[in-house]
Each structure stands twice: as structure tokens, then as C-alpha cells.
Amino acid sequence: MQELRVEDENAFANYVRMPPHMFDELLNRIRPVIQRRDTHMRPALDAEMKLTMTLRHLATGDRYHTLQYDFRCGYSTVVWTVQEVCQAIIQELKDEVMPLLKTQDDWKAIAQQFQDRWNVPHALGALDGKHIAIRKPHNSGSVFYNYKGFFSVVLLAHVDADYKFIWIDTGGEDHQSDGQLFGASELKECIDDFPDSDPLPNDDRDTPYYIRFVVTASNSRIPE
């Protein structure tokens, strides 16, 4: 990594999907959480190596068995490291990257984005689900078997007009539809905080705000 950083920053960015200065900023923010002390039994893994390993896994989807040879450590160490670093990143950045929408003005700002960028008034975000492939959990029957023919859990994502995540829910059973997942989610509880109805542009009648559900038809995406 040091050779890439010094000799070829583009290769460094390609390897971990971020430039050195961004990598260093993230490392400094989570280092206190992921850096462990050396013991008499063995030295602790360096925080930089742990972050690199995790970013490589997230960027490429490389299997843990591949990463253990790339980074010359045990399989169980890779599993534990990726989970630890991911959790540290979430805890450090979640409030900055995905702040909670707490007021009607926050929701109206999202609606204004859709109006300005896509000419879609009163939209409080777009919601869609994504199948994440998994191995069949033990004794789960067909609970996680989807209509596409493989086992998965659902990532339900709510995004703004710039495709940035506002809210996510993971782990939904795959036989459930997006509507069922939304109905059981904490996002539905936020409906009470939605802005009051306002007139659409060039109209004088109050119209409710709404979330756009997205459905897939063949290879295209159309609003429902």
C-alpha cells in the first residue's frame, strides 16, 4: 500500500476506491475503535491493513478465502475484521452521511430537490428493494427463497433526488414485497412527520406529499 501511495496514486485509488487523502481521513476517524493493542501472544493487526482489507472486500466482493491469502492472515480474522470495520464506519459516519429527517422543513427540502432536478413535485424520495444473495439459512425452508430462483434478503432503500441514501432497511425475508417491508418499517412511522398538503405549482388545490415507489418492468424502471 505504501508503494502504491508513493508511486501511483491512481492505482491506490483503484485498489481501495478512494484517493489517499480520503483514505487517511477515514482511517484517522475510526482508528481509535479498530486498533488493538499488541499482546505477548502476537502483535495486533495494523488499523490501516484492516481498513484496506475491508474496503477491498466492499469494492470487489472478493470472498474471505481470497482475502486471507491477499493479506496473509487467517480466515476467521478476515471475517471478524470486515465486520468490525464496517460497524466502526457505520457508527462514525451514519449521522453525517444519513442524517435523520426530523422536521417538515427537512422533508420539504427533499421535495424541492425532486421538483428542481426532475420536475416531479411533492416527492419525498424514491423507494425500491434490491435482492442480496445469501446462502440458505439453516432450517429456514423457503422463507428466503425469491421469485428469481435464489436465496436472498432484501435491501430496501429510500433515496433523494441525487440518488443519495436517506434511509435503508436490510434483512427482510425475500418472500415479502416492497410494500410489506415498508409497512413493517420504521420509515412508515415517519409519515406523521410528512409536510402538510400544499398546492402543486400553478395550482390552488392542496395536494399531499408522497414517496415514489419504484417497480421493475423488464429492464426498465417506471414510477408506480
List pLDDT tens digits, range 15-58.
999 999 999 999 999 999 999 888 888 888 999 999 999 999 99
Residues 138 and 179 in one domain: yes
The boundaries of the domain holding residue 43 are 2-96
Please check whether residues 59 and 125 belong to one and the same domain.
no
- In this structure, the answer to whether residues 207 and 123 fall within a common structural domain is yes
Q: Quick one: pLDDT at residue 2?
A: 83
DSSP structure class, residue 163: S
- Lowest average pLDDT, out of 63-67, 85-89, 185-189, goes to 185-189
* Same domain as 81, residue 10: yes
User: Do both 114 and 209 map to the same domain?
Assistant: yes
Q: Are 118 and 183 within one domain? A: yes
In 121-205 the beta strands, taken as DSSP E runs, fall at 123-133, 152-159, 165-173, 198-199
Q: Hunting for cell 475484521 — which residue is that?
A: 81
Average of pLDDT values for 128-154? 85
State the total domains in the chain. 2
Mean pLDDT of 165-186: 77
- Same domain, yes or no: 83 and 108: no
Among residues of the chain, what percentage have pLDDT more than 90? 44
C-alpha dihedral (176, 99, 16, 63), degrees to nearest 10: -30
Query: In the chain, what is the straight-line distance between the N-terminal and C-terminal CA atoms, in Å?
Result: 47
pTM of the model: 0.72
What is the pLDDT averaged over residues 106-131? Answer: 91
- The residue assigned the cell 422536521 is 103
pLDDT at 175: 64
Q: What is the mean pLDDT of the chain?
A: 86
